[in-house]
Amino acid sequence: MDKNTIRNLAIIAHVDHGKTTLVDGMLKQSGVFHEKQVVEERVMDRNDLERERGITIMAKNTAVQYGQYKLNIVDTPGHADFGGEVERIVQMVDGVLLLVDAFEGPMPQTRFVLRKALEAGLAPIVVINKIDRLHARPKEVIDEVLDLFIELEASDAQLEFPVIFTNARAGTATLDPGTPGTDLKPLFDMIVDRIPAPVGNPQAPLQLGVTLIDYDTYVGRQAVGRIQNGTIRLKQDVAVIKSNDEIKRQRVSGLFVFGGLKKVPVEEATTGDIVVVTGLEDINVGNTIADPENPVPLSFISIDEPTVAIAFHVNKSPFAGREGTYVTSRKLGERLFREMESDVSLRVTASETPDTFLVSGRGELHLSILIENLRREGYEFEISRPQVVERFINGVRCEPVEELTLDIREDYVGIVMEGLGPRKSEIVNIQHKDNGQVRLVFYIPTRGLFGYRSEFMTDTKGLGIMHHAFHHYAPYQGEILTRTRGSLVAFETGDSTAYGLENAQERGELFIGPGVPIYRGMVVGENSRPGDLVINVCKKKQLTNMRSSTSEISSKLTPHRLMSLEQCMEFIADDELLEVTPKSLRMRKQSL
């Protein structure tokens, strides 16, 4: 294919601004699906966790044909925790569609993804999405986007960005927000006109940078990347250049390009194509596939370092080995190091003890997705409380600081500010909106956010919206008390009873109901006061001839709090662990 008819672009935005929905519309209107085919929403989110949570976790490739042009599209995540996915795809594309919500305007993650795109010199198209939304303000949002471009020191060419208005859910685009569109043709035309064709020389020696790694049980590791120079052919001998400059000669056994949602086998591909290569052993993200006679590596874009770390331990609780398939340190270590090969923003290091691994990532969500994937695969392990990754800068102890953006009603401002005060937050900006909403922007140490989401939702009666992204490193700000209450700890091993729980619930809030297997030292609730309290939740009512066994039914229990994985991670204290198995989440004291 002539590289002048190829357009490589990524869709970037803050979380929930409509990236995946827009890709759905582009796929449908380009003829990827036939007219009567039933297509589920967010068709690009194929991972179970992505569909359950309604978020994109992994960057994904697709391609559509528009007339004579082939548009290679990369859908990227919007959450700050998965920023590594955005950072690595910028060298695979020549332009970006920056999606911005017509009501919310630029948000913290909009700044992050745009900065990466501008630094890579990509051509931007600004897409103002959700123009049908109540209180939409597209004209004002364009001004806010321009201010953001100027603040991020965009080049003169990048500042001349074109703007288009869309309703991704309806599949329409228009150049005038006052005139409703009928389809996405104006967007396709703008992509062809404003996103440059790939540069590179098809006659030069081969250079292909590996940006993503896929895995297939039949063909093994699949390297996804863009051909910067040269041409690659099926069954060709190539040189795989590792990050340590080690060169290994191998043969390409499979070569594919993207067509819609499928991988289409081809005999050869040339400069500008985004391809999938199979048959190469031990290939990783950041490697270069090159001409064996003239192996020249490509430079890989720098990836921001992790900010949050968790220790993974082999499960040593009294219930160890009951529910999991993989319980040894060897299996756990192999799986964690394998994850690091495909996730560029993850770091895994073995500790001095053979049964502990330190795993560092971009945030609690990033690590909780990994933990959830492991438990679904049958792994059983324990994790520690999340800790921030500190650095010494010019001899000064520094910690990561996040930019926290809160959208709340005016009457909740007081209680929210009061809750953030002890967490060492610093107010940066306050914006009052016409609809009685207020946007508060803070700088807050990453430590100060541990456990805050549930408190924020309680304070705002579930109506607040909270987003945060890493901003900078700052000098360590001293002790932060993120948890003011202790734990209710089980006194003995057994099954919880209604009678034992009824007495215990007067002391605090419970996390379990009756009939749950318990071991000594397990955390079964939150104390209503500071400090831990040992309680007996397995206690049975003594039966005499004056009482019948059915008197147990009269126990009145308050519904217990169901704890999600993220809530458990935020709740545990420094002297506690979270036991994770395919069926259960149990919090416990380190020393039983």
Question: How wide is the angle at C-alpha 245 spanned by C-alphas 76 and 93, nearest 5°?
Answer: 25
Q: Is 121 annotated as a binding residue?
A: no
Residue 172, C-beta contacts closer than 8 angstroms, at least 6 positions apart: 166, 180, 181, 182, 183, 184
Q: What is the dihedral of CA 117, 119, 120, 125, to 10 degrees?
A: 40
User: Residue 489 in contact with residue 508, Cβ under 8 Å?
Assistant: no
- The dihedrals phi and psi of 106, each to the nearest 5 degrees, come to -65, 135
User: Residue 43 in contact with residue 261, Cβ under 8 Å?
Assistant: yes
Q: Is 278 annotated as a binding residue?
A: no
Beta strands in 34-171 (DSSP E): 60-66, 69-75, 95-101, 123-129, 163-167
Q: Compute the distance between CA of residue 181 and CA of residue 172 in angstroms, rounded to an integer.
A: 5
3-class SS at 583?
coil
Q: Compute the distance between CA of residue 525 and CA of residue 543 in angstroms, rounded to an integer.
A: 27
Selection from 155, 151, 83 nearest residue 124 by Cα: 155
Q: Give me 334's structure tokens.
A: 């192999």
Residue 33, C-beta contacts closer than 8 angstroms, at least 6 positions apart: 27, 39, 260
Whole-number Cα distances in Å, 320 to 305, 358, 381, 490: 34, 20, 8, 17
Q: Compute the distance between CA of residue 448 and CA of residue 480 in angstroms, rounded to an integer.
A: 7
Whole-number Cα distances in Å, 297 to 287, 386, 552: 8, 37, 73
- Residue written as tokens 């695979």? 92
Residue 527, C-beta contacts closer than 8 angstroms, at least 6 positions apart: 485, 486, 487, 488, 507, 508, 533
Q: Is 424 annotated as a binding residue?
A: no
Q: Is 273 annotated as a binding residue?
A: no
User: Residue 380 in contact with residue 326, Cβ under 8 Å?
Assistant: yes
Q: Is 497 annotated as a binding residue?
A: no
Cβ neighbours, 10 Å, residue 154: 20
Q: Is 129 annotated as a binding residue?
A: yes
Residue 244 per-residue DSSP state: T
Selection from 61, 57, 46, 55 nearest residue 92 by Cα: 61
Annotated binding-site positions for GTP: 16-21, 129-132
User: Which residues are documented as binding site?
Assistant: 16-21, 129-132
